[in-house]
Structure 1
């Protein structure tokens, strides 16, 4: 049994959430439920509230109304360390301390597991090495994070989150800065974590066809609200794409996987 499976079937939900910044409301009466052990993709146009929802689910953003519930308890009832042992977050943008090495940054993912009585252990070292191997950054271990490309840095941050070994992973645009090959590498990794049965993954994704191919559960958002929710094959059609994105498109079976695939129509074809 992996460390992630020690907490069985974590559940994560938002109930009647009102979310916003500086007095500006983005979502109101928003309720979502993340199926345990699912790979959930949140999709929608820019500024529709996807990242805001993810920040609320991770306790980075406090709702002005409603509750985020983690494993049957309001997330505010947990200490910060307890949350960090149950839920890992890859934010949209991250800033590393100046001069920190890759291995040192990834090692910080083990902080929630440290106590006065439990300091760095072989288990921590093994978790860091597994995370670096999974994200293909072992050869960068001694490099300064400052020296890396955007895509390499993204993989380092993902490795830090994996090193936390939490049952729930929240990923805000995890393929940002990555070329197509590394996008597929990251999503293949997510799929393998999901297939293990030990993780619940929630990712904000912009590429619809990748979202439909990799996720088994979708949350489609528009104007701060959930428009549709369910398995891609059950909810994705041309009407949904038009409603959510204002895009005229064909939705056909992916020739490789059979999942829904969006083929945008040119303006003259509308």
Structure 2
């Protein structure tokens, strides 16, 4: 039985199990969104709204079980909620244009680059290994989006890059939180409100809303977002931050495999080479930070 208290992880087997579930959930967001939009069973705006609202409901339910629901009023922030909304909206609209693995890779790269730039702005300086990692990752990103037969859509890349930048900013804000699960729940509620207010502006003429699209959006909000984040916050106290960062390198790969199996998407040589450079470069940055900490 899944328990929400972090003290219930009392064996390496449990820890590995929860880590695997969390990483599958993160990759699942990309797979579910792509599944919904690929068969046109839902439009991007509806997917975003349902994902945010159902995620908020699930997170609040988890807090209710934990007895922390009353703290929602004093937690979270509007800047973080706006960043969360921009991420969710950009993510949904980008997957109209992008394959699952490509989208996840662009998102992940932009999140990490954004966090590095913000850290650098506030005084952190990169070591030689970290600088090399940034160069390799950025070169891989440029190669991925460079013109060619298998190049991703410029619009899709731009939207997913905006989503990644927003999630990077959200992560920086969240890194200062003493109660990340409560803050995330509050931010999901606020982001849902922002989305509701902006729905008239976001809707386009080609809206669709079918049963399977709603199911995909609910699964993305309640399971891969709500439960996924709850499990991840359960795991984090038991692993080092550098290990958590390395583990997340697997998310684009899992998403790409999901796209290959469920959507018959292709893994091109360009995708594989750019993935190796981006993930390898970010791995170097993480390794450099770990060595610097020692």
TM-score by length of 2: 0.27
Normalized per residue, the structure richer in helix is 2
TM-score by length of 1: 0.28
Structure showing greater relative contact order (alpha-carbon pairs closer than 8 Å, 6 or more residues apart): 2
Normalized per residue, the structure richer in strand is 1
